[in-house]
Amino acid sequence: MKNLTFIVLILFSISCQSNLEKELKSTKKITVVAHRGASGYLPEHTLASKAMAHAMKADYIEQDIVLSKDDIPIVIHDILLDKVTNVSEKYPDRKREDGKYYVIDFTFEELKSLEVTERFDSETGLQIYPTRFPKGASSFRLHSLQDEIELIQGLNKSTGENIGIYPEIKKPKFHLENGKDISKIVLEILTKYGYSTKDDQCILQCFDALELERIRNQLKSELFLVQLMEFPEQKNLLQFYASYADGIGPSYKHLISSKTTSGFSFTSLVEESHNLSLVVHPYTFRKDSLEEFDSFQQMIDVVIHKAGADGGFTDFPDRMKEILETKL
């Protein structure tokens, strides 16, 4: 009888532990980052897209940052203007020898005169995502990092929300080659607006590992830093990343090793990152670009709930939040 009682107690303990693990997993905070704003609905990195992302209550809103000729941080995804503006029509003679138009060659006032549109192929002129906001419709403009921070902070005040910013330093080496220290300029602005520690609602990201390490060690930033990853082989550098960063931002594809008729199998990237206390925020969740998935819901379920990511970047923050809340 004693043995039977002991076995029952063990089984009960295992059951309780299992239920607790399930509860902890289901209540784990998942970070939803509005990728370039609510870019699935409005042209990327426009103030309209950011206001919509805020209304959708994303946890963070992303800002890609490139410097203008007069050192103003501009919110735009690329160092080039070709794929999201009418620069070739307005300034046909301002392209470089390679035939491309660079943000860094224009002053802030000149950049504000450009029309921003849905992303398109600069060779064919065709819209990249055909079902999104019509290319050339309405009127949108480029803006500065300061403009966007003031919008988000203003909306936080008027709505009572506390939505954060998630800026990315774009091409720091390119900027240095052109005599500009983009990281230093951006950090000064972030500090001015109250973003200087890990407790502030700001996560700073960059693909350039040496630059992100410089931001931590040389520029002495105490912000929450995320090392973006372009290639799966960078998994071998996790120990190095953990020496200065607080998280990684890989492609969601880096989390998946294979897909078969029986389901998905996963790499060890999330587990190894968590063992080093690194959060994992993969990119990019798009319901109009599912690739290996049958639905947007499956995409989120596989990457977040099965692979174990801590959140991620999405063009559709409302749909991602809805799916995550339904899962809970």
Say how far apart CA 100 and CA 88 lie, in whole Å: 9
Say how far apart CA 309 and CA 293 lie, in whole Å: 17
Say how far apart CA 264 and CA 281 lie, in whole Å: 19
Considering just the CA atoms, what is the radius of gyration of the chain in Å?
22
- The yes-or-no answer on residue 77 being catalytic is yes
Name the active-site residue from 54, 77, 143, 254.
77
Please, are residues 79 and 170 in contact by the beta-carbon 8 Å criterion? yes
In 3-state terms the chain splits into helix, strand, coil percentages (rounded to 5) of 40, 20, 40
Task: Return the residue matching tokens 């931590």.
Answer: 216
In terms of Cα–Cα distance, which of 290, 208, 197, 275 is closest to 239? 275
Exposure string over 9-47, b if 16+ CB within 10 A, otherwise e: eeeeeeeeeeeeeeeeeeeeebbbbbbbbbbbbbbbbbb
- The yes-or-no answer on residue 143 being catalytic is no
Say how far apart CA 80 and CA 205 lie, in whole Å: 19
Name the active-site residue from 35, 54, 143, 175.
35
Which positions are catalytic? 35, 77
